[in-house]
Structure 1
């Protein structure tokens, strides 16, 4: 368990970046506004050098190329059924890239058992978060 400020969420993501490689799946859990996208942006920046990472809320998937990494960033919040997951290419990305998945619950049966699970939760303080990471 890591207690941190919202800005320190980025530091946790940077530390995690050292542990991922092609085929790694990072699942992000938390309520709206908890910091999943903040975490994702920092992780993508560390992995690819891309400082313009955006939330894929409306696109559902964004991809980023780095010198040594290909990152697929998914936001499954608006996905309603499993058929849509096949349409957006989730299976292919799981094998060929580093996959970062916000709102992964609908895809639970498709995800590898060794997916890294990151839980970001609010605390009583508005700028504090508690992060739990399960490897």
Structure 2
């Protein structure tokens, strides 16, 4: 299994996909989230992070670039690279230090960090379809395939 697609009629369904991922996810794993502004990338991230046990709010790291969470033995790093002007800025923030054997890295707008980010295990693309949204999930590594098989 390398690809899945879900129709999402509302925000709750987007959060539910994130929570489903959380039930089966294991570090290390890198997820790329792509899609238009407002398509639901941060909403999906919120469902995933809260599904992993975070009890507080999940804010978009648009201005900080990364928001860390220590959850149940795994380090979760939520990146939003939308405002990144130059991928070299990632070198200055020590980007390589975030991608460890104990980390789950969720990267919104990964194209902004091209050349400095590790390859994704899973690529999630959200897009508008009529009044709702659609999420297309593609596994790019064996770890990604294992995750997709578990959520199928």
- Structure-2-length-normalised TM-score: 0.80
Q: 1:132 to 1:114 in 2, by over 3 A?
A: same
Number of residue pairs aligned between Structure 1 and Structure 2: 133
Post-superposition offset of 1:46: 1.1
Match among 78, 81, 84 for residue 79 of structure 1? 84
For 1:67, the equivalent position in structure 2 comes to 72
Structure-2 separation of matches of 1:115 and 1:62 = 20
Equivalent position SS for 1:39: helix
Moved >6 Å (runs of 4+): none
- Is the 8 Å Cα contact of residues 61 and 88 (structure 1) preserved in structure 2? no
**Aligned 8 A contact 2:87 2:114 in 1:** no
Q: Deviations over 1:41-70 (max 9, x none)?
A: 111111132331111011111101112221
Equivalent in the alignment of 1:131: 135
Match of 1:29 in 2: 34
1:1-135 correspondence to structure 2 within 5 Å: 1-6=5-10, 7-95=12-100, 96-125=102-131, 128-135=132-139
Structure 2: segments with no counterpart, 5+ residues: 140-152
Mean alpha-carbon deviation: is it higher for 55-64 or for 108-117? 108-117
- Cα deviation 1:1-58 (Å, max 9, x = unaligned): 1111232011111111233222201110011100001001111111132331111011
Normalization by structure 1: what TM-score? 0.89
Contact in 2 for aligned 1:13/1:42 (Cα 8 Å): yes
Task: Give structure 1 stretches of 5+ with no counterpart.
Answer: none
